Amino acid sequence: MPTIRISAKAAEVVARVRAERSGTLSFTIDGGCCEGTAPHLFEDAVLAGVDPVGEVAGVPVYLQAAMIDPFKDADVTIDVVDEPMSDAMSLETEYGLRFVLREGICPA
């Protein structure tokens, strides 16, 4: 099972999103062609037949089926960076930010 953490700054962004939304939040990590393994934060995502591989900031984290084996021993941290031009569908982009994965423990 992977170890998945979240930086303090990214957790603050999740709290901000949660305060402005009423649905259930979830992170997904997949192997998409355009954004690679960037974590995406969604509201009310339909994730049938999969179990979360972890939880950060009170949000379950899901891996696409094809990513489970490559991530089985992963030690990653969800962090956030400034990216005002992002056109991703992840919720933090509304604030000019973008979630990213970092290997190992990310500094606060």
Angle ∠(40,46,8) on CA atoms, nearest 5? 30
Q: Could you tell me whether strands 40-43 and 25-29 are parallel, antiparallel, or unpaired per DSSP bridges? A: antiparallel
Residue in the structure block whose two tokens are 């009423």:
22
Has residue 90 got a pLDDT over 60?
yes
Q: Is residue 70 part of a domain?
A: yes
For residues 14-25, give the mean pLDDT.
97
Confidence of residue 108 (pLDDT cuts 50, 70, 90): low
Confidence of residue 36 (pLDDT cuts 50, 70, 90): low
The pLDDT of residue 83: 87
Contact assessment for residue 88 and residue 98, using Cβ atoms and an 8 Å cutoff: yes
Confidence of residue 85 (pLDDT cuts 50, 70, 90): confident
Q: Is residue 108 part of a domain?
A: no
- What's the CATH number where 22 sits? 2.60.300.12
Supply the range of the domain harboring residue 63: 3-103
* Alpha helices per DSSP H over 21-100: 65-68
Q: Is residue 58 part of a domain?
A: yes
The pLDDT of residue 3: 92
pLDDT tens for each residue of 67-78: 888 888 989 999
If one counts the domains in the chain, the total is 1
Q: What backbone torsions phi and psi does residue 10 show, to the nearest 5 degrees?
A: -65, -40
Has residue 57 got a pLDDT over 80?
yes
